[in-house]
Structure 1
Amino acid sequence: MPETLWVLLAGVVAGGLNAVGGGGTFVALPALVAAGVSPVTANASTTIALVPGAVAGAWVYRRELAPAGGVSTRALTGVSVLGGGLGAGLLLALPAASFDAAVPWLLAFATVLLAVGRRVASAVGAALDRPVGMGPRSVLAAQFVLAVYGGYFGGAVGIMMLALWGIGLGLDAAAGNPMRIVQVGAIYLSASALFLAASDALDAPLLLGALLTGALAGGYGGAHLARRIPSRVLRGIVLTTAATMTVLYFLRG
């Protein structure tokens, strides 16, 4: 019961973090590993458990979605579904050690992009005497790569989306948050379908159920909270989460 309660609380925090700015995987995954679940199975279980929270958050934001860089929500979601499924397949088929070693560097890159990406884009645009931006094809291609990453590992994929859209499309964290939640949900949903069919995630149903219940509550509550947070504060929360998780992951490895 103490382990189950701990996993339940971790799910609440993870769901809330994902709704506000991302990084929930880095709370849920260690909680499952500490409860005795193997890392690969814990990764699959985390993805499955975070789906309802992401869907709940997307429902809260359903009236606030807007196309990203000229790309419709439907097209972006379709790419996310395809990439998420491919990433999940790679997790089940390939050894995770080499990719796991690269995760801290990917997080560090995303954190730097979040912190200075828009200013760098503005400076480059001023130097070139034209704005720096991404066209629809570039947005879809980059989203597919992120979706593969999200299906394979999932950690901070939402943070990386905000970083990409910030530097490539000029979207701030508040404007991009509704679309981020929808796309993370699409990636997790696609990956979860494969994990449920081919992984050992269902071998620990009590822990999975506790994490899922907590993430659902946290995702719904976090989405309502995020809508009331000013853009600057939300950006600060996202940056703090990204920097903290990056440091912790470097220390872990």
Structure 2
Amino acid sequence: MEYLVLIAAAFCAGVLNTIAGGGTFLTFPALVFTGMPPVIANATSTVAVFPGYLGGALGFRQELAGFDRRRLWRLASITLAGGLIGSGLLLLSSNEAFSFVVPFLLLTATLAFLFGDRVRQWAAARARDASTEGALGLFAVALYGGYFNGGLGIMLLALFALWGMSDLNHMNALKSGLSFLLSAISVAVFAVAGMVAWPQAAIMMVAATAGGYAGAPVARALPKPVIRGVIATVGFGMSAIFFWRLVGPG
């Protein structure tokens, strides 16, 4: 029964990630609810959704090729450094400490998703060229993504808008490429540290990939407000549950 829950959660997460993002709202809670310690559940959830980032990066390879190679190497280096440190921080976190911050991380990710368009518009109005401030911003976002993957894509898009980028295809291409690199370093760190529950991760990877493929016709059929409403409901619901677990009895 636990595996059926994980398969269903991963499949729906794949659908959500293809439509608009938010799959972590399903994979991480499902792993926790099956009895997995929160830190291990977070690491396993990162592995479970990892194939989707590779598919996105490959899908945008033409747009990625249009970026200046030196700039790409620079951004990739910053992302890997932030992701490595963020993943390392998760290794040092106890289950109690991580359980305390999880509700706040889920709520932050949900708000970032819900108001992502407004945040990008606000950032675009204050756009500047990528500079030292841009590097620090990317490092901070990568640090967050290495520690907790939820809402990473929305935060990257807002950061790119702040840099002055406006072409959504190029923004999504860069987001997919950097997300893949960040997830790759996180998966490597978690695997070496023995923090991944591989039987669950493997079956969820397959289900998430299938869900990602199935999500394409759903994305074409559903209006955007409905999609946003579903993901926001899931995000706020999961946040409320984890807040209740934090302050409730036991």
Task: Give TM-score scaled by structure 1 length.
Answer: 0.77
Q: Which amino acid aligns with 1:216?
A: T
8 A Cα contact 2:76 2:178, kept in partner: yes
| Structure 1 residues 81-133: Cα deviation after superposition (integer angstroms, max 9, x where no partner) | 221111111011033144325314533552465242344456xx5xxxxxx21
Return the alpha-carbon distance in structure 1 between the equivalents of residues 86 and 237 of structure 2: 24
- Picking from 83, 98, 102, the partner of 1:96 is 98
| Structure 1 residues 227-252: Cα deviation after superposition (integer angstroms, max 9, x where no partner) | x96xxx66x57754663354224422
- Picking from 124, 128, 139, the partner of 1:134 is 128
Deviation at 1:148, TM superposition (A): 0.8
Map of 1:14 onto structure 2: 13
- Picking from 195, 208, 225, the partner of 1:200 is 195
Map of 1:210 onto structure 2: 203
> Aligned to 2:49, what secondary structure does the other structure show?
helix
Task: Give TM-score scaled by structure 2 length.
Answer: 0.78
Q: 1:151 to 1:98 in 2, by over 3 A?
A: same
| Structure 1 residues 200-222: Cα deviation after superposition (integer angstroms, max 9, x where no partner) | 323xx332211111223334565
The runs of 5 or more residues in structure 2 that have no matched partner are 244-250
Map of 1:159 onto structure 2: 154
Q: Which amino acid aligns with 2:143?
A: V
Q: 1:160 to 1:46 in 2, by over 3 A?
A: same
Map of 2:56 onto structure 1: 57
Q: 1:111 to 1:71 in 2, by over 3 A?
A: farther
Return the alpha-carbon distance in structure 2 between the equivalents of residues 188 and 98 of structure 1: 23
8 A Cα contact 2:123 2:161, kept in partner: no
**How many residues matched?**
237
The runs of 5 or more residues in structure 1 that have no matched partner are 126-131
Q: 1:17 to 1:77 in 2, by over 3 A?
A: farther
Return the alpha-carbon distance in structure 2 between the equivalents of residues 134 and 29 of structure 1: 35
> Aligned to 1:189, what secondary structure does the other structure show?
helix
Instruction: Give the percent of matched residue pairs that are identical in Structure 1 and Structure 2.
Output: 30
Q: 1:6 to 1:109 in 2, by over 3 A?
A: closer
- Picking from 122, 143, 146, the partner of 2:141 is 146
